[in-house]
């Protein structure tokens, strides 16, 4: 017998993020949660790694967690992943950088391409 498919929703975030964009993202996430969303995917490929992005993602993660939903990121830059790791949000957002993921599994991270 197959397991039921997870209900998921995707929110596309584009910068720069201001108060209006934050409130809109939270409203969309709240609507998804009200409709039984179990996984919230945030597309962040067009966001800069800055405080406004961290605040938005932190508030989305908190809202999702309160609603029993998990969060994942799609298209996060290496800089954003490093910043999220620095502020302690990488695990809550399912956004472990390759080095952090390798450390958790006991493997060695591959060096970045193009560097010696």
d(CA 62, CA 75): 20
3-state secondary structure of 45: strand
Residue ranges of domains in the chain, CATH in brackets: 8-105 (3.30.750.24)
**Residue 97 pLDDT:** 55
The strand pairing partners of 9, in sequence order, are 40
Confidence band (pLDDT; 50, 70, 90) for 106?
Answer: low
Confidence band (pLDDT; 50, 70, 90) for 38?
Answer: very high
With 0.85 as the threshold, say if the pTM is over it: no
Task: Kindly tell me the sign of the dihedral angle through the C-alpha atoms of 16, 70, 68, 2.
Answer: positive
pLDDT tens digits, residue range 44-62? 999 999 999 999 999 999 9
């Amino acid at each position: 017998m197959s397991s039921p498919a997870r209900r998921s929703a995707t929110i596309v975030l584009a910068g720069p993020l201001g108060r209006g964009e934050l409130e809109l993202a939270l409203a969309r996430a709240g609507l998804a949660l009200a409709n039984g969303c179990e996984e919230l995917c945030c597309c962040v490929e067009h966001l800069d790694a800055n405080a406004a992005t961290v605040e938005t993602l932190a508030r989305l993660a908190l809202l999702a967690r309160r609603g029993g939903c998990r969060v994942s990121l799609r298209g996060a830059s290496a800089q954003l992943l490093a910043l999220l790791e620095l502020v302690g949000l990488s695990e809550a957002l399912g956004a472990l950088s390759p080095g952090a993921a390798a450390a958790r599994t006991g493997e060695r991270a591959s060096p970045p391409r193009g560097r010696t």
